[in-house]
A = this chain, B = another copy of it.
Amino acid sequence: MQLSLADHYREMLIIRLVEEQLMVAMTSGLVSGSTHLCIGQEAIPVGACSVLRKDDPLIATYRGHGWALARGVSPVDLMAEVMGRDSALNGGRAGSAYLSAPLNHFYGENSIVGAGVPVALGLAIACQRAGDGRVPLVSIGDGAMNQGNVHESLNMGSVLEIPMILMVENNGYAEMTPSHALTAVPAIARAAAYDIPGFETDGNDPIAVASTVAKAREIALAQSTTVLVEAHTHRLAGHYSGDVQAYRPAGELQEKHESCPLARAEEQLTQDEVTQIRASVVSYIAHEFAAATQIPAPSPEGAFDYVFSS
């Protein structure tokens, strides 16, 4: 079921406004610690989740608010978790960088670069054996391509013929260092090293992402293989909340803002559509944020539960 651009836009806007709301919350001292926002990268989770099955397992990085929201996590729950409240997600245990929503088949963010990929491989093994057609997707950053665990997982996924999608969100930077200074070749050029199919896509266009991910998913299942997708995008905010971005070349941010997925969608939608969607999402997020601030901090008594589940 293909989403219209207006639908995609609405979803992307939800993510954008949640992230912006969190920036405000941070400035107001409502968030402890730092967060990693996905501003500029919204088209990737939105496009991908529009074609994944709702029960395809999902794993993201610390920059994963967009994936949680695109997978159906409500903004109030997510913002409450980021603010350390007793949220419906992880009750404040996870915070911004490590949250999960198991009921939404979102197995969570991961704060260790690349470390979600081996875990996704395991989920993929479980899906394959269940034989019910689910295919996990794991998203990482471009810089993560140089972690050993990613390498090991791609080779293992290939030789064991495990259907899985590795989404590489190439946002131009790893922290404060431009990607090309760290990685010998683009992510896509590594697919051949594992004999797996690889696709590139415009990560600022949710429809392009959707069609690439749909194709990747089909091939993963049909050929029983791991598939790599590299989505080109740009991080339009700092690496983390306090990042002053002194390392950016002059004019870069401005230039990159031109290909912002929201701006691009707005060009294609009518003024009316945009105005209407904006109005509804703005008030939606405002309400959700207000609701999140009403959620109390978790009770310390519970802090010792669930170290083990049995």
Contact = CB atoms under 8 A, between A and B. Distances in A.
A152 B159 contact: no
Contacts of A290: none
A147 interface: yes
B193 A185 contact: yes
Contact of A195 (B149, B154, B185): B185
Interface stretch (A35-43, A96-104, A176-184): A176-184
B195 A184 contact: yes
B181 A159 contact: yes
A257 interface: no
Q: Which of the listed residues A158, A159, A195 has the most CB atoms from chain B within 10 Å of its own CB?
A: A159
B146 A147 contact: no
A178 B195 CA distance: 18
A4 B158 CA distance: 44
A29 interface: no
Contacts of A184: 154-155, 158-159, 193-196
A300 interface: no
Interface in A149-165: 149-152, 154-156, 158-159
Interface in A119-155: 146-152, 154-155
Contacts of A182: 159
A156 B145 CA distance: 12
A93 interface: no
Given A184-B195, A185-B194, A148 B159 contact: no
A149 to B, nearest CB: 6
Contacts of A3: none
Contacts of A194: 184-185
Contacts of A155: 146, 183-184
Nearest to A196: B184
A192 B185 contact: yes
B189 A192 contact: yes
20 contacts: A146-B155, A147-B152, A148-B148, A148-B149, A148-B150, A148-B151, A154-B184, A155-B183, A158-B184, A159-B181, A159-B182, A159-B184, A184-B193, A184-B194, A185-B192, A185-B193, A189-B192, A189-B193, A190-B193, A193-B193
Interface of A: 146-152, 154-156, 158-159, 181-185, 189-190, 192-196
